[in-house]
């Protein structure tokens, strides 16, 4: 049975975490990159994930962070996964005792099959738009650039919202979708109706595949 997993990223408020859990989010993303408007401190992170129930994946997003920084966060916060969203090498991503996701900022010149081979230890590759600021800009990219053989492990990101996520799922058939700005009313502040509409759109897309 087809079920596209959903990750809500850029969470900064407890009420948004609670709503994402209520709606059935598979993963919750927290930005630990100080250059982002969605940045949360370690103290905020610990508070936000304290009430997350079992079997909901918590993901810490880092951008070119020092290894000691990543370790310090993992020592204090119960994160399930680490997401590397900068220029980290394969060697930079391993050795932390938790699985990792590697983000690929997609362009026509980036060989995504080679990228996946380089980051073979990654649990998944997150495909995002190549924008300034390392994501969260609400811009899509050419989904046809994603090779079909990568779709089963793909996390599709970049400008997704309730209005386009069904088309994205139909074209890519990713394992999961990742949304941040597409369900916001301000940076880091989620909009309840947009979140509900996004989940509805994903589930409707999944149902259409089952009907086929």
Task: State the catalytic residue, choosing from 9, 16, 92, 161.
Answer: 9
Structure tokens at 124: 């998944």
Element (H or E) spanning 166, and its range? helix 165-172
What are the angstrom distances between the C-alpha of 34 and each of 41, 133, 178, 209? 8, 11, 20, 40
Tell me the CB-side half-sphere exposure of residue 188, using CA atoms within 13 A: 12
**CA torsion, ordered 56, 199, 194, 45, to nearest 10 deg:** 10
* Active-site residue, 212 included: no
For residue 60, count CB atoms less than 10 angstroms from its CB and return exposed for 0-12, middle for 13-18, buried for 19 or more: buried
User: Helical H runs in 41-164?
Assistant: 42-49, 67-76, 112-118
- Asked whether 156 and 168 are in contact (CB, 8 A), the reply is yes
Which parts of 76-188 are beta strand (E)? 81-84, 100-106, 124-129, 154-156, 176-179, 184-186
Q: Which of 16, 92, 93, 128 is catalytic?
A: 128
186 is catalytic: no
State how far the Cα of 123 lies from the Cα of 7, in Å rounded to an integer: 15
Catalytic residue numbers, as ranges: 9, 128
């Amino acid at each position: 049975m087809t079920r596209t997993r959903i990750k809500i990223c850029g969470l900064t408020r407890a009420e948004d975490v609670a709503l994402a859990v209520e709606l059935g989010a598979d993963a919750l993303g927290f930005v630990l990159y100080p250059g982002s408007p969605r940045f949360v401190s370690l103290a905020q992170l610990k508070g936000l994930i304290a009430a997350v129930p079992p079997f909901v994946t918590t993901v810490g997003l880092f951008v070119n962070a020092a290894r000691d920084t990543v370790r310090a966060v993992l020592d204090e916060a119960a994160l399930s996964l680490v997401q590397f969203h900068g220029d980290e090498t394969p060697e930079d991503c391993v050795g932390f005792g938790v699985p990792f996701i590697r983000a690929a900022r997609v362009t026509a010149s980036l060989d995504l099959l080679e990228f996946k081979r380089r980051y073979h230890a990654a649990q998944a590759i997150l495909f995002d738009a190549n924008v300034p600021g390392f994501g969260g800009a609400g811009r899509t990219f050419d989904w046809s650039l994603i090779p079909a053989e990568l779709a089963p492990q793909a996390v599709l990101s970049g400008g997704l919202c309730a209005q386009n996520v069904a088309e994205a799922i139909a074209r890519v058939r990713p394992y999961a979708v990742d949304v941040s700005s597409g369900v916001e009313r301000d940076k880091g502040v989620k909009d309840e109706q947009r979140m509900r509409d996004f989940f509805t759109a994903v589930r409707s897309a999944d149902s259409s595949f089952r009907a086929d």
